[in-house]
Structure 1
Amino acid sequence: MTTSALEPRWSTPDLHAAVKDHYDGLIDLYEDLWGEHIHHGYWAEGETDPGRHAAQVRLVDELISFGPVTEGARVLDAGCGIGASAVYLAQRLGCTVDGITLSAEQITRAEAKAAEAGVPDLTSFRLVDAMHTDYPEDTFDLVWALESCEIMPDKKAFLAECKRVLKPGGTLLVATWCARDDRLAPAETRLLQRIYRDFVISHVLPLEHYAELTADLGLTDIRTADWSPRVWDTWKLSTDIVKPVVRDPSVIWKLVRAKGMDIFRFLNSVPLMKQAYDRDVMRYGVFRATKPL
């Protein structure tokens, strides 16, 4: 295992296998605890708390505005999860969305959600490695990556693939977990490494590193934003949701029988993320860039 928190924790084959096992095995638990949008929420400063699920939708809306995402765009949802963002983009903006993931169970759930929402004709979901897709060059108006970049073991290869499949003038739009900076103390590094293990992700980078990588790849009109203060409540609320599960031995052992011993790491990962935000080790960044004409 690497000693740096800014380098991959896993080999790519091991990571892919772990991601498949993790999400195939825990997809229903994720959805039970987090809802259909399995990502951070966004709480606007000075506004009345809308509730966790509304905050998750708000984050999608804020990302759409940050892009911006245009109506009718052809979109690659790189790391589509259970399809909530793809369905939302299709419903709200009439986008045609290709969602890709490493989890067969996520695809099954995403297809069901698209059918329930009445947008199966605007969405499709496939088992594809986002770092190495089979799409032709210049295919998409937008590549959307909502909390999937942290899973990618080779960030530059992922961003290069995003650029390749974008049409000239197309937009890369990413929201991802970030490290505070590249000057982490040993205890901070250990905390991030535990999160990598328990959440089954590769590693995180400081937001400014992503700006540098996208510039190195020749992308233009690069903009970044730190949304950490807006998303922090996600982990306070998530910790409150997990507490009753952790405190009930009958529920714990039911989950162990159904999901195996890894359930302990999964449940422990939630307070670890809260700790990482509280200690300003983890941050939440967004960035967008354009493929030159």
Structure 2
Amino acid sequence: MTSALQPRWATPDLHAAIKDHYDGLIELYEDLWGEHIHHGYWAKDEPDPGRHAAQVRLVEELMSFGPLPEGSRVLDAGCGIGASAVHLAQRLGCRVDGITISAEQITRAEAKAAEGGVTDRTTFRLVDALHTDYADGTFDVVWALESCELMPDKRAFLAECLRVLKPGGTLLVATWCARDDSLTADETRLMGRIYRDFVVSHVLPLDQYRDLADGLGFTGIRTDDWSERVWDTWKLSSDIVKPVVRDPSVVWKLVRAKGMDIFRFLNSVPLMKQAYDRGVMRYGVLRATRPL
């Protein structure tokens, strides 16, 4: 049996699938999730701020986890539709290079930067985060918000992050994680279905990310498990998707517009909720420094 901690896809197939998935479904993602297409963060013992505010809170929490200095030169590796890049440029005056392999994401990110008045501080490019063309020591910060799970070679990705960071620069990662490397056969099947439907390569336990960073020579490594803080994302997302699934006319309208992959997309939300409910999927953050 294939391990849930090994890549599900061959790299060329993964890249093609990611492009098809996000280029085809980007509007639906934004309609359902809003401009920040990632988990939200709900602080313990605080009133519920709402899903969109929680997504912004997660960006702010990751900024603080760094902390991310004002005016930093930032590489947003796997920038999506640019919401985080725009936020960093607006809040901290950062100069952000966002990279992705989805042309539709680039188009949407550029539009969002224009809407946010930060086109002078943001650039979006079609670049593979595993093989960038930036010179060594270009960036103060590499920011990877829910993109590491897409990377077929985690070590190579972290090595590229190390290369493009300036000495003393900071790597900030927030990523889906596995509970551990001892999943049952049923848990492995569940993770495999999530990889297929979300077009994800694979995930690792948080401690394995720490070990990879340490082995590459990063220093000042800190990790934290935010699973309990982000869990509500999938409770709310399931509630959002339910009315769509229950209305056949809406489903078939989506099929005509987006193709049969819409079924996998709609099925992926309850699968993620199940994975969190069972404790199989976790959510981790990592901070590390390139040595001086």
TM interval, short-chain normalised = over 0.9
2:122: which partner in 1?
A: 123
What secondary structure is seen at the aligned counterpart in 1 of 2:186? helix
CA distance in 2, matches of 1:131, 1:156: 10
What secondary structure is seen at the aligned counterpart in 1 of 2:5? coil
Unmatched 5+ stretches in structure 1: none
CA distance in 2, matches of 1:93, 1:5: 38
The AA in structure 1 aligned to 2:43 is A
2:97: which partner in 1?
A: 98
Query: Is residue 2:177 matched to residue 1:178?
Result: yes
1:291: which partner in 2?
A: 290
Shift of 1:103: 0.3
What secondary structure is seen at the aligned counterpart in 1 of 2:69? coil
What secondary structure is seen at the aligned counterpart in 2 of 1:3? coil
Shift of 1:155: 0.1
% same residue: 83
2:232: which partner in 1?
A: 233
The AA in structure 2 aligned to 1:50 is P
CA distance in 2, matches of 1:76, 1:201: 21
2:261: which partner in 1?
A: 262
2:41: which partner in 1?
A: 42
What secondary structure is seen at the aligned counterpart in 1 of 2:131? coil
TM-score (ref. length: structure 1): 0.99
Shift of 1:283: 0.2
The AA in structure 1 aligned to 2:22 is Y
The AA in structure 1 aligned to 2:103 is A
Shift of 1:124: 0.4
TM-score (ref. length: structure 2): 1.00
CA distance in 2, matches of 1:118, 1:263: 34
Query: Is residue 2:198 matched to residue 1:199?
Result: yes
Shift of 1:265: 0.4
Unmatched 5+ stretches in structure 2: none
Q: How many residues align?
A: 292
CA distance in 1, matches of 2:83, 2:165: 22
CA distance in 1, matches of 2:2, 2:271: 19
Q: Which stretches of structure 1, 4 residues or more, deviate above 3 A after TM superposition?
A: none
Cα displacement string for residues 237-269 of structure 1 (whole angstroms, at most 9, x for unaligned residues): 000000000000010000000011110000000
1:22: which partner in 2?
A: 21
Shift of 1:112: 0.2
CA distance in 1, matches of 2:172, 2:287: 5
CA distance in 2, matches of 1:81, 1:106: 6
